[in-house]
Amino acid sequence: MSNHTVTNYRRDLTQLETFCGQQQLTSWSQIKTKHIRQFIAQLHRQGLAGRSIQRALSAVRSLYRFLIREGLTEANPAQAVQAPKTEKRLPSTLDVDQMQSLLDHTQQDTMIACRDRAMMELFYSSGLRLAELASLDLRDVDFGDSLVYVTGKGNKSRVIPVGKQAIEALHIWLQKRDELGFFEQSALFITQQGGRLGVRSIQKRLSHWGKKHGISEQVHPHRLRHAFASHMLEASGDLRAVQELLGHADISTTQIYTHVDFQHLAKVYDKAHPRARKK
């Protein structure tokens, strides 16, 4: 698992350990399903979001799978416990005009601007996650076939097409990058000092350009990823293809994460449903 997931799981299990101390439970085998339900209820009372409670349950289930495998307990008390249902909010996105304004108005007149334009073009072209873009190396971009090789969540790899304008922006950036003389650095996006550009710096740079171009909604990597998914789905109607491009293991994640063009759905319905077809 990623370092971020491990850190969150550790935090969740530390909270469970604290709860067990309060309940005078001294071994993992003493914990029953009722205790896990009490623990989840306590997290809910503390105001923890439903998605975070689901993650905590996942951490506990994973722990008990390990304990059972090691012969340290016999049952998984978290297996039948369900987290509170969470509201499925549609993530906010940028429309096509806003994306074109953001990208076209970012002039490539300095080294920083060239790098940032290339990053934003790649985010929007290929729907990358922030961590995926930050970890890219030079060798991960195939300019001949216009592809990018990405390692995503759970160390799962996928290959994604890169659009023409993103390829052009990357070429311009690499020319500027060579002028810096950091030929030993493998990272695709680097700082002026030659180090790999970190995730926090990438977030700050996107926010900077959003404010500079007067976009009222905050611009951040996740919003560009969502714009990619929304615009691809609206134009193609192919949910399965968008799922593959985003690297989602479950298509239900893609359904929540993207806008569905109702007009397209209506056309599919009229064309496909036996009782909807016109004679």
Among 87-91, 131-135, 164-168, 203-207, the range scoring the smallest mean pLDDT is 87-91
Q: In the chain, how many domains are there?
A: 2
Q: Minimal CA–CA distance to 203: which of 225, 185, 186, 222?
A: 222
**CA atoms 1, 229, 242, 173: torsion sign:** negative
Residues 210 and 169 in one domain: yes
Residues 59 and 140 in one domain: no
Is 76 domain-assigned? no
Give the DSSP letter string of 43-90: HHHTT--HHHHHHHHHHHHHHHHHHHHTTS-S--TTTT--PPP---PP
Residues 102 and 207 in one domain: yes
Mean pLDDT on 59-78: 93
Beta strand 157-161 pairing with 141-142: unpaired
Q: Minimal CA–CA distance to 78: which of 2, 22, 19?
A: 19
Report whether pLDDT(201) > 90: yes
Is 86 domain-assigned? no
User: Does the global pTM surpass 0.85?
Assistant: no
CA distance 42 to 36: 10
Residues 161 and 225 in one domain: yes
CA atoms lying within 13 Å on the CB side of residue 175: 11
Residue 161 bridge partners (DSSP): 147
Residues 54 and 124 in one domain: no
Q: Minimal CA–CA distance to 139: which of 173, 179, 185, 98?
A: 185
In terms of residue numbers, what domain contains 159?
96-262
Residues 112 and 202 in one domain: yes
Residues 201 and 254 in one domain: yes
Is 128 domain-assigned? yes
Is 85 domain-assigned? no
Residues 30 and 114 in one domain: no
Is 272 domain-assigned? no
Residue-wise pLDDT tens digits, 210-251 = 999 888 678 888 889 888 888 887 777 777 888 888 888 777
Residues 218 and 117 in one domain: yes
Task: Give the length of the chain.
Answer: 279
Is 239 domain-assigned? yes
- What residues are annotated to the active site? 129, 153, 222, 225, 248, 257
User: What's the pLDDT at 6?
Assistant: 87
Domain of 256: which CATH number? 1.10.443.10
